[in-house]
Amino acid sequence: MDFIDLKSQYRRIQASVNARIQSVLEHGQYVLGPECTELETLLANYVGTKHCVAASSGTDTLLIAMMALGIGPGDEVITSPFTFISTGEMIALIGAKPVFVDIEPHTFNLDPALLAAAITPRTKAIMPVSLYGQCADFDAINAIAKKHGIPVIEDGAQSFGARYKGKRSCGLSDIGSTSFFPSKPLGAYGDAGALFTNDDHLAKLMREIRVHGQDRRYHHPRLGINGRLDTLQAAILLAKMEIFEDEVQARSRLGARYTELFNEAFAGQSIIKMPAIIDGNLSVYAQYTIEVPHEHEGRTQFERRMKEQGIPTAVHYPLSLHQQPVFANLGYKAGDFPVSEYMAARVVSLPMHPYLTDTQQQHVVSAVRVALLG
């Protein structure tokens, strides 16, 4: 069984992908070509924002967003400690200080109740992560941010296509950032990402920063990076967008089906915990992640027993960012973010993609039962 099956998807859209790639090879504009502009229009429409700026990756987009906001040394950016390294890494790379705020145990997302206490006069942005495909609580986060006049950047690298109270991920705050790494809900065949905003000025800055801070050919009013998107990736994403909404629905349905099967298999037993989707949210389940017992090497043993049954698993993520050696200089210690630390010790992600069959899901669920109960 595949953890993520990209081959079934390719077979479904093969004709369209191949035709679009062929067309790029023939027109020869390999970087920021016409397909990139076409993609930006399509994605802005899909998300419901005025602007989309397509870029080289979901890491570069976080950097571009913070550069556009003028964040730098001496500034603080608030984020979740329970995320992929990029989120904290780009804050530090730009010279600012990552300030972590612990997560809610039921959603794995930044806890709005703890946010206000972390804000200081140096806070220049709040960067919540919409982890595992479910949006953070943006109404609550935006309200606090607005009171303090602080911009909000959504790290929606795992949640493209997700919905929050009728709106789409990446269109919920001042700037939305996403990744099209192959294994993300919308994936290219290489690195790619995109930024979203309704703000004309921020859109202009982000466009310039994407191309070395250039406003016209070889004229540079500001510093930027090489954050350009390959046209081939845009072409592939355009083909994938033809079926994306269908895949979003499939992801949501399959995630709910896993939960239903686990509830049946573990009726009345609280050995594992399944993801909770908040009313008003549609999760794209970038990961279907459960909590397993931690005691006596519980998770290591669980993963080994799953592997023995032919089921791949993964841990997203084994360390909270404040426990990463690279962030030791921030001065955090064990116990500072108890929920994040608790989850880092217990979470396991199971195979998840839009082409899972019911038989495969039942096989995964019974394998989990065997792995835990023998």
Ligand X SMILES: *Cc1c(COP(=O)(O)O)cnc(C)c1O
**Residue whose CB is less far from ligand X, 158 or 283:** 158
Kindly identify the residues of this chain, within the stretch 54-113, that bind ligand X according to CB under 6 A. 57-59, 83-84, 86-87
Closest approach of ligand X to the CB of residue 90, in Å: 8
Kindly identify the residues of this chain, within the stretch 190-229, that bind ligand X according to CB under 6 A. 191, 193
Distance CA 124, CA 230 (A): 31
**Residue whose CB is less far from ligand X, 79 or 197:** 79
Q: What is the DSSP string of 146-188?
A: HHHT--BEEE-TT-TT-EETTEETTSSSSEEEEE--TTSSS--
Closest residue to ligand X in the complex (CB): 58
The most distant pair of C-alpha atoms in the chain lies apart, rounded to whole Å, by 66
Specify the residue for token string 């997560």.
103
CB burial string 356-373: b at 16+ within 10 A, e below: beeebbebbbebbbebbe
Query: Which DSSP category does 327 fall into?
Result: G
Integer-rounded Cα Rg, in Å, for the chain is: 21
User: How many chain residues touch ligand X (CB under 6 A)?
Assistant: 15
Write the single-letter amino acid at 25.
Answer: L
Q: What distance lies between CA 5 and its chain's CA centroid? A: 18
Q: Which helix (H) or strand (E) holds 349?
A: strand 347-350
Closest approach of ligand X to the CB of residue 313, in Å: 17
Closest approach of ligand X to the CB of residue 108, in Å: 11
Write the single-letter amino acid at 214.
Answer: Q
- Mask of contacts with ligand X, 269-308, x by CB under 6 A? ----------------------------------------
- Contact between 136 and ligand X by CB under 6 A: the answer reads no
- Contact between 157 and ligand X by CB under 6 A: the answer reads yes
Q: What distance lies between CA 276 and its chain's CA centroid? A: 17
- Contact between 132 and ligand X by CB under 6 A: the answer reads no
Strand pairing report for 76-79 and 123-127: parallel
**Residue whose CB is less far from ligand X, 32 or 370:** 32
- Contact between 129 and ligand X by CB under 6 A: the answer reads yes
- Contact between 154 and ligand X by CB under 6 A: the answer reads no
Strand pairing report for 347-350 and 288-291: antiparallel
Strand pairing report for 193-197 and 281-282: unpaired
**Residue whose CB is less far from ligand X, 58 or 161:** 58
Contact with ligand X (CB under 6 A) among 109, 179, 289, 340? 179
- Contact between 173 and ligand X by CB under 6 A: the answer reads no
Q: Choose one: 6-14, 150-158, 165-173, 267-275; the region binding ligand X (CB under 6 A).
A: 150-158
Q: Choose one: 8-16, 93-101, 155-163, 264-272; the region binding ligand X (CB under 6 A).
A: 155-163
- Contact between 188 and ligand X by CB under 6 A: the answer reads no
Binding site for ligand X (CB under 6 A): 57-59, 83-84, 86-87, 129, 155, 157-158, 179, 181, 191, 193
